[in-house]
Chain A
Amino acid sequence: MTTRFNLTMQLSMAIVLALLFQVSPLQARIDGITGTNFTLSVKTGRVFTPDGGSILLWGYADGAGPAQYPGPTLIVNEGDTITITLNNALTVAGANPAPNVSILFPGQRAEASTTDPGVPGILTSEAVPGGSVTYTFIADHPGTYLYYSGTDPALQVEMGLMGAIIVRPSSGAGFAYNHPDTAFDREYLFLLSEMDPRIHEAIEFDGPQSTAVGPYLANPFPVVWFINGRNAPDTLDIPNLPVLPNQPYNSAPMMHPGERVLLRVIGGGRDLHPFHHHGNHSRIIARDGRLLASSPGAGPDLSHEVFTIKSVPGETVDAIFEWTGKGLGWDIYGTPADGPQFVHTCVDGNGDDFDDTTHEYCPDHDKPIPVVLPDNLDLAFGGFYSGSPFLGTLGSLPPGEGGLNPHGGFAYMWHSHTEKELTNFDIFPGGLMTMLIIVPQGASIP
Chain B
Amino acid sequence: MSAYYSVLKLRLLNGMQYRAAALAGVATQFFWGFMYIMIFEAFYEYSPYTPPISLKELITYIWLQQSFLAFVMLWFRDNELFTLITSGNIAYELCRPCEIYGFWYAKLLAGRLSSALLRSFPILIVAFFLPEPYSMTLPPNVVTGILFLLALLLGLLLLVAISMYIYISVFYTMSPIGSTLMIGVLGEFFAGLIIPIPFMPDWLQSIAYMLPFRLTADFPFRVYSGHIPQNEALNGILVQLVWLVGLVWLGRIALNKALRRVVVQGG
Q: Report if A and B associate in a common complex.
A: no
